[in-house]
Every structure is written in structure tokens, then in C-alpha cells.
Amino acid sequence: MITVENLTKRYGGFTAVDDISFEVRPGSVVGFLGPNGAGKSTAMRMMTGLTPATSGRATILGQPYRELHNPGRQVGVMLDASAQHPGRTGREVLRVAAVSVGVGKARVEEALALVGLTDEEAGRRVRNYSLGMRQRLGIAAALLGEPQVLVLDEPANGLDPQGIHWMRGLLRRFADGGGTVLLSSHLLHEVQIVADDLVMIGRGRIVAMGSKEELLSRGGTTVHSTDDARLAGLLEAAGVPVTRTGSGLVVDAEPGVVGKVAAEERVVLLELRSGGSEGLEEMFLGLTAATSREGDAA
Amino acid sequence: MSTDTRTATPAVGGAPTQSVSPAAPLEGPPGVPFARTLRAELRKMVDTRAGRWMVIVMAAIAALVLAAFVIWGPAGDATFRSLLELSTLPLALLLPVLGIMAATAEWTQRTGLVTFTLEPRRGRVVLAKALAALLLALVVLAVATAAAALANLAGGGAWDLTAAVAGGLVLALLIYVLQGVAFGLLFLNTPVAIVSVLVLPTAWTIATQIFGSLDDVGEWLDMDSVTRPLFAGEMAGRDWAQLTTGVAAWVLLPLAVGTYRVLRREVK
């Protein structure tokens, strides 16, 4: 279990993380989603005691990270897969961690097998690893102490689609065994595959959180027609809020309402559905547009 | 976890009525036992090519210097003590680098992200690093001593090493290693630390020689002059006081500032 209460980090006048609170319960894989620079990594570093919080607190399994006994056996942490000494072999990276965590060499081999690094790959120096292999190694290091909680920063970054699905399986099994997973991502489609629940963050603040389904149903109806401009006008005339997006309209109403208006006014619909993956995407863009870098320019 | 905070904090994931009892943390004091931290740090110093070669090269240079001396030098007047001094001369220069590399590695390669999550009490990691560097230095010193003994056997010199000289030599070299650790922690950057550790004390020595008025201060604060009686095994009361002040200025002060820096610094 991870509990974050009013966590805030200020650097001079800049607020990197602004009063965030949430709790990740055992048995869940939660995606911490936000654009680059939203404060995800800073928040995760505060959760793991690497960065002191300006105010608020974070606990893992009910204790501040720095108070945990042998943290490696309780919390698996991977904050940057590239932060490995390039001169060590993958196996050596794990062996050093194993000494500190207090597990044997057999567990190192288990962890390597768990993340699908072959014997030959484990014997290679990290310098010659692809980003995907470094991610696997980082996850192996996180799993080494058989922890109850995982905190992973951008674990799917650099993985191919097959690797992302593999990670979903791995984390799902971990959570099904009573584990708690918090992973960050700046890519919605990635986190959508891997996580079941989402905490969305933009410019240091939480903008939305809940299960994927919950957030999807909040996404309204996506509609695309031969004449979106006319349809938007008709819907607005009918008193339904409409948002224009690149690929059509997002309407804050049931698909039936939109379909009825379109049928009455003889607009040819090309697409009509509730929420959907792109709905969440639009929402992600919408929620973060005001708080992202793009928003600064606008 | 008290129930009031659970209701105050919005939760994500898992069913709120889940029967899974909230996972309890492991019982025990914070962090990991020091012996394991020390073992991990010791291992990290020699498990990369750079680290391993550093140790091998140091031992090899000590041996080579001796071999060269035995072959071409005036071997007739060589004694165990002079051979040992000869073989440890390059070590005084190289051993601090060992300490520097131990101290800076976590920051230059960013492995601190892993190290300091496995042991959040960073002071203990710093202590383990300092001890690991000192232990490795002792190993290198043992090799140099063995090489000097072999060379002396070959040359048939006198066995004139007194306990005072041997002890002084070990202590002086360990001080230099610790100085390396201190400068490494202070700068957290390998090249800057190496240059500083080599240049700053020397610059100070030169300054004391140029400005005669600094001469009196130099006796107390110049690393070369405060360790000279130590190498010679002729420590008197005043020498110990001068050694203490010199070490305080060039080793303990940077060590304290550097440790403070590591404790406070954000690990990124």
C-alpha cells in the first residue's frame, strides 16, 4: 500500500509537485500518468526518500520510506533504467543489489528468468544493453527482494509492444498476489495496456483519478460525421456541450442523444461511440493541455 | 495506518471492501545491517573494469618500480625499508584516486538511485565506502610490502623496518586514501576531485614556499610536511599536533562538508 498525503515539492518559486494526495491499495496496478515535466518523477523520488518533501508526506506499507526495515525486501524501486554502471554485467548489477538486500545468488537467477533476460544477456555489460533490456534489468532488480510494493518510473519506456504486454502480465500477476504497483508513464496508450487504474497529473497537480472504465465513461461520446461543423452547431443548439478535436467531436452526452440529432437533421455519421481509447486520449490531452508545455505557448 | 487518514485520502485501485488485510511492513530497524552495506560497497569497487584495473595497476606499479630498482639501481645499498618506501611512493599518489572513485561513482553513473533506495541512511553508505576504500588500500599495501620483501631477499639487503616506520607508513597512506574519499564526496565528480586532490595541497605547499610568512602556518597545514615525520617513523609530540591540524584541514573538513552534501543532496 502506498499513501501520499498533501505531498508538495517546491524548488524556489517553482512548484514541481503541488499538494497531491492518493492511496494505492494492494492488489492494484495504478498508472501515474502525465506529460513530461508534470512532476511524476519528483513525486516518486519523494515516495522513496530520495528527495525531501517540502510539505506533506508519503508512506509505504504505513511507514515513511526511510523508516522501512530492509526496504529492498518490501519495496521494489526502479526510478531510472539507464542509471546503471555501464561497466557491470547485468548479473553483477543484481548480485551487488542481492548482497545489500540479503538474498542469495539463486534469487538473482530467478529474477533474471522472471524478466526474460537470457544467460548470455545477463553476462553482457550494461553498456551494450538496449533500453528495453535495461528496463528488464531494472525490473529484475526491483523484484529481487520479493517486495510487496513496486514503484516504477517509466518502466514501459523503450519496450516494444510485445514487451509492454509482457509487462502487463508480469505486473498483473504481481498485483493478483496481493502486491501494490505504482508505475508512471507519459504515454496514455502504454499505461492503458499496463495499468487498471489511473492517477493523472499535470503541472504538479492531480487532474483526475479512478479506474480506466470510470475515466472512460467520463470521456463522453466521440462522433465524426461528413459535416462536423454543422453537427456541432446542431448539437449546441440542442443544448449539448461539444468539444472539437482533431478527429471529430467529443460530446458530453449519451451516443443515443447524438444519434437522434444526427438522424433528425440528416447528418451522415462516420463514427459514433462512447468514450473509447481515443476518448481517454482526448481527455488526457484535454486535461493536460491547460497544464502542459503546449499550453504555455497557447 | 489509522482509519481517519484512509477516508481522507482518495484511493485508487482495489475494491474498497477488499478482504485482503492491509499488508504489514517487515519488523525491524530501518535500513540494512552495516556488514551487508560494507560488502556491497567493497564489491562495487572491484567489479568494474576501471576499479579492478586501478587496483591491479597500483600493485603492478609498486612491483615494477622495485624490479627496475633491483635490476638497474644501486642494489648494494638497498634495505627493506628503502625498498618499501620506494614501492609505496607511487601509492601515495594513486591510492587517493581509489577513495575518489569509491565516493563519486554513485553520482557520476547515477547508481545512487539504486544504492540509496536500498539503504536510505546515506551516512552508513558513506561510512561503508570510506571503510571499503581503506580496506582495499591495505590490500594494495600488503602486495607492495610483499614485493618489497621479495626484492630485498633478491638483493640481500638488511631487514631494518621498525614498527614506528611501518605504522607511520600505513597510517600516512590511509590518511591519503581518506583524503581521496573526502574530496570525492566534496565534489561528487571524479575528474574535478582527482585534480583537486593532486593540485590543491601542492599549490598550498608552493604558496608556503613563495610567501615566507606562510611558513609557520605551513608546518601545521601542509600535508607534505605534516606527514614527513610519519613516513620517517619519527613522530614526536609536536609532530602529532601538526599531523592532527593538517589532517583536520585537508581530510576531516572536506569529509564533513562532503558527507553533509551527500546526506542533503537530492538523488536524481
Residue B4 confidence (pLDDT)? 38
Q: What is the tally of structural domains in chain B?
A: 1
Q: Options 2.30.30, 3.30.70, 3.40.190, 1.10.10; which CATH number does A217-297 get? A: 3.30.70
**DSSP one-letter string for B86-126:** HHHHHHHHHHHHHHHHHHHHHHHS-THHHHHHH---HHHHH
Kindly determine whether residue B20 and residue A97, on different chains, have CB atoms separated by under 8 Å. no
Which of A218, A195, A196, A224 is CA-nearest to residue A276?
Answer: A218
Q: How far is CA B256 from the centre of its chain?
A: 14
Superfamily of domain A2-211: P-loop containing nucleotide triphosphate hydrolases (3.40.50.300)
Could you list the pLDDT tens digit for every one of the 298 residues in chain A? 899 999 999 999 899 999 999 999 999 999 999 888 889 999 999 999 999 999 999 999 999 999 999 999 999 999 999 889 999 999 999 999 999 999 999 999 999 999 999 999 999 999 999 999 999 999 999 999 999 999 999 999 888 889 999 999 999 999 999 999 999 998 888 888 888 899 988 888 888 888 887 776 666 788 888 888 888 888 888 888 887 877 788 787 878 888 888 898 888 988 887 765 455 676 677 766 655 554 444 3
Residue A275 confidence (pLDDT)? 64
pLDDT tens digits, B208-253 = 778 777 777 777 888 888 888 888 888 888 889 999 999 999 999 9
Residue B23 confidence (pLDDT)? 63
Show the low-confidence residues of chain B (pLDDT under 70). 1-8, 14-23, 75-76
Residue B5 confidence (pLDDT)? 38
Kindly determine whether residue A68 and residue B6, on different chains, have CB atoms separated by under 8 Å. no
- CB contacts, 8 Å: A84 with chain B: 109, 111, 114
Q: Give the three-state DSSP class for A54.
A: coil
User: Which domain, by its residues, includes B160?
Assistant: 32-263
Residue B22 confidence (pLDDT)? 54
Residue A218 confidence (pLDDT)? 65
Q: Are B14 and A199 in contact (CB under 8 A)?
A: no
- CB contacts, 8 Å: A100 with chain B: 32, 36-37, 40, 115, 118-119
Kindly determine whether residue A49 and residue B116, on different chains, have CB atoms separated by under 8 Å. yes
Residue B14 confidence (pLDDT)? 62
Q: Where are the domains of chain A?
A: 2-211, 217-297
Residue B123 in domain:
yes
Between positions 182 and 221 of A, the ones with CB within 8 A of B are 196-199, 209-211
Contacts with B203 (C-beta within 8 Å, 6 or more apart), sequence order: none
Please state, for a pLDDT cut of 90, what percent of chain B lies above it: 36
Longest pairwise C-alpha distance within chain A = 72
Q: Residue B52's closest chain A neighbor by CA?
A: A87
* Residue-level length of chain A: 298
Residue A250 confidence (pLDDT)? 79
Sheet with A2-11, strands from edge to edge, namely A55-60, A2-11, A14-24, B11-12
Instruction: Characterize the bridge pairing of strands A205-211 and A197-202.
Output: antiparallel
Residue A90 confidence (pLDDT)? 95
